[in-house]
Structure 1
């Protein structure tokens, strides 16, 4: 079938294949709404490739919870025996990924590795994409990814994947709807009149095809699909209905066994144009058509079909994905089967480190768990809570634990009640509600200390130590942690020992006690040896955060890299996000502001990011915007202040306080009129936190509030406050902090001030540079440039004046044709402008561009 208005997109794909053939692998992102023609484009690429290239094809499915690495199972037969042997084996993800890469590397032909419908991908598949993308550049391969860009908001997991793609290997191919002329060509090829079709379909190729295949123009495409199905005899409709209840595709052998259709019914079904058959599979031509058919099924008919399918799969000799059994059991309303398979499917997902899928599957089980004994319900709730916690779904985790707590209390299970209270304390901390976390921790200790000493009491003691450590109360953290360590050793609970050792080591290291690092590394070694993934993650995060805080940047970078490698093979979103926030702060303090802003921006727009991670990311992004003069800084500071206030922790409050003080200095305020900053400084004094006292004291001094009460001999903030700006500048140079070096130089003579101004401008700190220029001119210094034009300085995305105008018209919802009329240019020119806008904003679609521009304040700008 002819592709219409896709020549450029197809050429881009051929270019990627050609470059891969020369040893320069690529990742191609094909995006567009459902029905836009992504699959058709890929099939044309395969047809053109012929036998020259090897094709591996896998699809993601819209199951309740996708099967981990489902697309890899689709292509398993085309991979070598090593890869096949590792599929389904616990703890083999890293080796499996490496084996797949090795398979690509040793292939004598260029490989097209196609993963369709990535918007439905499980997290293990997304991790595989990230793994391959980072290593594909020297490989003779093209990784082709298709996804619906209208179904992945700013907080979709794919956003993280896209953010991690190396820029030099990523090729974006967004597919836009057909023009009215393109729709007319399709109608002409079908021998139909095109009147009204463009208006009805919006130029969506699938919708156009369905309308052209129906008689006349129906009210909706759903009607077009159902109308075509309604014209079929009952035996054919039964076949269409059975195929419709299985997402993506279903085996021909399975359909034959369940329904035993006649040959003529199969022929009629294929002739209807709704379903295709290839390579032993039946599938609807488009997932939208399948969904329309599935939704149209009467509930009792759908339940019966799912029950028949479930019965067949249960009796099958072959391996059946657990997630598929859950899908049909839920569709059949078979609560017993859901409970039987959902937990097993969750365990399978956990073995692949797919904790998001496990959380979903436990959730499916809980919707059918009313008939279970209360104890089993509580245990299931506990398992769901833990999986949600690992994947940064704190609120969902808390809801499950609160339900479990009520059950344990009703049952009079005091030990389980204490365990759940301790766990709720942890979840409340993650949600940024420290007062509630403290209350639950106290309740857990009070309850469990009345019972026989055991693991749960050791955990309650360690949790209490952890909260003190996080609050900066080192003495209390060490005291409670030491109690937990002693009890854990007496009862032989290695995991509790690992947890408590981490808390004591982190508290001591953060307070400047060097032997704290040895304890923290001991905890890490213990966790690695016993496979305690969460505790490995905590150790990495606590090492990285203390290293950044103590400005041991080189060591911190190594720790973060080790942590990132560890997280890449496991789905530990809570910790992966947390360490990214510290990576953003590291980049910020060392002057890599673009990288820092990108990381922080990704974190604050995701749904599943806990406040304890969101706050430091907001602080970084707010301070970058402040210094650059970008819009949105004040709003970020206000939101972060509200979140940080509920935690009551200095480590959350201090970065926001520093941002508030710096904002006051940039405004030219005389004196510190912000009680929020003053109270935070007093808390730092009370806790004796030298790092936070140094920075907060510096900004208070800048505002004319005196030098503060704290001084450290080797602290560059203190050097500057004491008037030794040269020593401070040298110290900041050794540490690799260019902005603070410039701040020190600014306190020097005229030459050093001019050098500081050059550094500010080089960093893009437009607001800081603007303030310094004004003060230099006030001081009578000649030859001070006025800086970049306002239109350029106010353009954080680097858009030209014309692109800003086009962006504002895009945000108004105008089409390409309407924009062309407004700016008196051709539609081709408009397409060129939009392509540049997408590239500069690093997005894939018009909708994403509007959202990104809105965040940057670009949609309010007119040319």
Structure 2
């Protein structure tokens, strides 16, 4: 390619250099403004030599790597000159996006133009939901902001922090918001400093630092209460309501939420009203579910109407959490799907990942184990996923692998232990306690440690579903221990732990939650336990099936089915086409790395497929899986 470029005439080569400073494509009118009327012949020569494609109304290199190679050969002065001329040509056309102008202003080292255009490009990108681009433009603007007045620099840092937090770059958001706070402090602006403290509280919570979140939140309110009441104080109150909601402190949530809503109404701030209604609706589920659902729907409606994107994402998330807590698994599906679509369309990565993790949990509960694995793996394999956005998917995948008897669950357990140990919220703690209890019941963790973790988790928990789930695991681990106060438990757990295992099983069946139904049947009679075995075997829940067989034998139950034969398991496994491809490569003795190369997928994705194959074939090793496949004629 470079040799062909060197054979061009001087004019055509200069034209090729000019086109190289345009990413993606160069408009014909821009090139004419850049190089004059002689450009047509020179462009035709570049096309004839196979270096450019004629797009009709513009030109582009056939491969971007070729464009970059030509561009890199330009001297610094020539690159700046070409980009300045490109900027001037593009400025004459009012239809050019500001983002394109920023690119050429940066490359031309036109600092005045960068300072003017980059914030505009960032705001335009944010309005259309391109938050990653917006964060990039604010970063460019800040690189040239030293000469700006303090108030303008602080505003740029705040905007950068906001966009970074929307795309999950929490550390960058904290750093930018910290800079904004220091500038407001130096400027003596207590109102703005208080609002920065409130933002630092919010970002610390998203970064899983609950202690810092509480400290910043309290400091923000104290500072803002000393000033005339304004929207900053209303939002600071709503932030304290939010932190209280996460800790399931109902009274504090309602107290600060109602103060925030009252101030928001006085000041006509629907965005703050949406935020406050969200907090209040979440805790009202424990007092009056219908009222809580109404508040959350109002919060979402306000956010969507006002295009308050973060508030809308938060409303979708908490609305879904509400239905899951109420065990309305069918009702939560459309909420999750709408929320995931909204967050994807608006580049809200952390919220999207959190919702997808919740979807994986619902899929797991409703027996769609392969779908749950795929949904959760997409989140876990994304290196950009934040800690907060990652946890629901991590929980679902760890639970799934534990139930399939997959030893690759261990790293997920270790990661969850680190998150909970670092001060995770009550939902994290209670979910982790239930998972560790299940692991102990299967004989894979210490029973006493699991019981101690249940005690630690259930003391402050108000969620009826979580209270019941923890009580069930305590009963399975230690049948002689009292179930506790069942009045506050969700209905299937209350029925089960008061001795009505048949009604509990029927209710789990109505909820389409087969594994939970199997757990309920364990506490039933011989026939109930045999039905539980069928459920576990059908799901591929080998560890639970084996544990139940041990219990039945210990209790003197005879005629216990051994479980599906290896050939039957393979025939009924329902392997997907991709899983069959992985199985065939396993038989050939390929490592996961080699399988990834063969199928052009990531090694982590191969890990998930291997785990699914072993689970579906009820195998504990690659060799056992291939043997089962051979016996059944799959291989």
Measured against the shorter chain, the TM-score band is 0.7 to 0.9
Whether contact under 8 Å (1:425, 1:436) holds in the other structure is yes
The 3-state SS of whatever aligns with 2:285 is helix
Q: Cα offset for 1:467? A: 0.3
Flag the structure with higher helix content. 2
Q: Note the alpha carbon deviations across 1:45-98, whole angstroms, 9 max, x for none.
A: xxxxxxxxxxxxxxxxxxxxxxxxxxxxxxxxxxxxxxxxxxxxxxxxxxxxxx
> Could you tell me which residue of structure 1 aligns to residue 629 of structure 2?
none
**CA–CA separation in structure 2 for the residues paired with 1:347 and 1:801:** 50
Are 1:378 and 2:131 an aligned pair?
no
How far, CA to CA, are the matches of 1:851 and 1:738 in structure 2? 28
Q: Deviations over 1:517-549 (max 9, x none)?
A: 333333334334434333233222212101101
Tell me how far apart the structure 1 counterparts of residues 97 and 418 of structure 2 sit (CA, whole Å).
46
Q: Hey, what does 1:303 align to over in structure 2?
A: 80
Q: Tell me if the contact between 1:465 and 1:500 (Cα under 8 Å) persists in the aligned partners.
A: yes
Question: Would you say 1:288 and 2:65 are equivalent positions?
Answer: yes
Asked if the contact 2:508/2:514 (under 8 Å) is kept, the reply is yes
Aligned to 1:398: 174
Which residue in 1 is equivalent to 2:90? 313
Distance 1:772 1:687, change over 3 A: closer
Taking the aligned partners of 1:704 and 1:738, their CA distance within structure 2 comes to 23
Q: Secondary structure at the match of 2:53?
A: strand
The answer for the alignment partner of 1:476 in structure 2 is 252
Unpaired runs of 5+ in structure 1?
Answer: 1-224, 816-833, 839-845
Can you give the 5+ residue segments of structure 2 that lack an aligned partner in the other structure? 614-620, 627-635
Aligned to 2:282: 506
The answer to whether 1:710 aligns with 2:490 is no
State how 1:592-603 maps to structure 2 within 5 Å. 592-603=368-379
Asked whether 1:617 is paired with 2:399, we answer: no
Q: Distance in 2 between matches of 1:344 and 1:664?
A: 57
Are 1:694 and 2:468 counterparts? yes
CA distance in 2, matches of 1:799, 1:263: 53
Q: Does 1:455 align with 2:208?
A: no
In the alignment, what sits opposite 1:544?
Answer: 320
Matches within 5 A, 1:560-709: 560-564=336-340, 566-567=342-343, 569-667=345-443, 671-674=447-450, 678-704=452-478, 706-709=481-484
- Which residue of 2 is the match for residue 720 of structure 1? 496
- Whole-angstrom CA distance in 2 between matches of 1:583 and 1:689: 19
Shift of 1:349: 2.0
Relative distance call for 1:633 and 1:522 in structure 2 (3 A) is same
Which residue of structure 2 aligns with residue 789 of structure 1? 566
Q: Which SS does the other structure have where 2:407 is aligned?
A: coil
What root-mean-square deviation, in Å, do the aligned CA atoms of Structure 1 and Structure 2 show? 2.9
SS of residue matched to 1:614: helix
1:126 equivalent in structure 2: none
Q: Is 1:741 aligned to residue 494 of structure 2?
A: no
Structure 1 position 801, deviation (Å): 4.9
1:852 corresponds to: 605
Q: TM-score, normalised by structure 2?
A: 0.88
The separation in 1 between residues aligned to 2:324 and 2:382, in whole angstroms, is: 24
The 1-side partners of 2:293 and 2:180 are apart by 37
1:802 and 2:576 aligned? no
**What is the CA distance between 1:513 and its match in structure 2?**
5.3
Report if aligned partners of 1:641, 1:653 keep a CA contact under 8 Å in 2: no
Distance in 2 separating the partners of 1:318 and 1:447: 46
Distance change (3 Å), C-alpha of 1:603 and 1:271: same
Q: Does 2:568 match 1:769?
A: no
Contact residue 770 and residue 787 of structure 1 kept, 8 A = no
- 1:433 corresponds to: 209
Equivalent pair of 2:208/2:387 in contact (CA under 8 Å): yes
Cα 1:718–1:399, aligned 2, differ >3 Å: closer, same or farther? same
Shift of 1:565: 5.1
Q: Does the residue aligned with 1:451 lie in a helix, a strand or coil?
A: coil
Aligned to 1:331: 107
Paired with 2:448 and 2:225, the residues of 1 have a C-alpha distance of 47
Does the 8 A contact of 1:236 with 1:265 survive in 2? yes
Offset at residue 685 of structure 1 (A): 2.2
Residues 434 and 646 in structure 1, CA contact (< 8 A), matched pair in contact too? no
User: Kindly tell me: are residues 412 and 277 of structure 1, through their superposed partners in 2, closer, same or farther at Cα, counting changes over 3 Å?
Assistant: same
Q: Distance in 1 between matches of 2:592 and 2:439?
A: 33
**How far off is 1:324 after superposition?**
1.1
**CA offsets 1:777-814 (integer angstroms, 9 cap, x no match):** 56463362343539969x99455653214572572499
Cα distance change on mapping 1:327 and 1:710 into 2, 3 Å: same
Q: Distance in 1 between matches of 2:139 and 2:550?
A: 60
Cα shift at 1:256: 2.7
CA contact (8 A) 1:661 1:672 kept: no
Q: 1:449 to 1:270 in 2, by over 3 A?
A: same
**Closer/same/farther in 2, CA of residues 577 and 510 from structure 1, 3 Å limit:** farther
- Please give the alpha-carbon distance, in whole angstroms, between the structure 2 residues aligned to 1:510 and 1:612: 24
Residue 556 (structure 1) aligns with: 332
2: CA distance, partners of 1:488 / 1:814: 54
Q: Deviations over 1:644-672 (max 9, x none)?
A: 33344111111111111101111266733
Task: Quote how far apart the aligned CAs of 1:623 are.
Answer: 0.6
Report the secondary structure of 1:784's partner residue: coil
* Aligned equivalent of 2:16: 240
From the superposition, tell whether residues 390 and 264 of structure 1 become closer, same or farther in structure 2 (CA, over 3 Å). closer
Q: Deviations over 1:9-60 (max 9, x none)?
A: xxxxxxxxxxxxxxxxxxxxxxxxxxxxxxxxxxxxxxxxxxxxxxxxxxxx
For 1:492 and 1:690, the matched residues in 2 are separated by 36
Residue in 1 that maps onto 2:630: none
SS of 2:176's equivalent? helix
Q: CA contact under 8 A between 2:360 and 2:393: conserved in structure 1? A: yes
Q: CA deviation digits over 1:734-765, x for unaligned, max 9?
A: 32211111112223233222211111122222
Offset of residue 390 of structure 1: 2.2
Distance in 2, matches of 1:724 and 1:566, equals 42
Contact 1:672–1:700, Cα closer than 8 Å, also in 2 = no
- 2:515 and 2:536 in contact (8 A); partners too: yes
Deviation at residue 627 of structure 1 after TM alignment: 0.6
2:142 equivalent to 1:360: no
May I ask how many residue pairs the two structures share in their alignment?
607
Residue 31 of structure 1: aligned partner:
none
Give the Cα separation in 2 of the matches to 1:514 and 1:353. Answer: 33
CA contact (8 A) 1:501 1:519 kept: yes
Contact 2:299 2:315 in 1 (8 A): yes
SS of the aligned residue for 1:402 comes to helix
Contact kept in structure 1, 2:245 and 2:253, CA below 8 Å: yes
Partners of 1:670 and 1:501 in 2: CA distance: 42
Contact kept in structure 2, 1:511 and 1:689, CA below 8 Å: no
Instruction: Compare relative contact order (CA 8 Å, sep 6+) and give the higher one, 1 or 2.
Output: 1
Residue by residue over 1:667-704, the C-alpha shift from the partner in whole angstroms, topping out at 9 and shown as x without a partner, is 26673323xx6245334323444322211121122111
Conserved? CA contact 1:228–1:272, under 8 Å: yes
Q: Which residue of 2 aligns with 1:27?
A: none
1:524 matches 2:300: yes
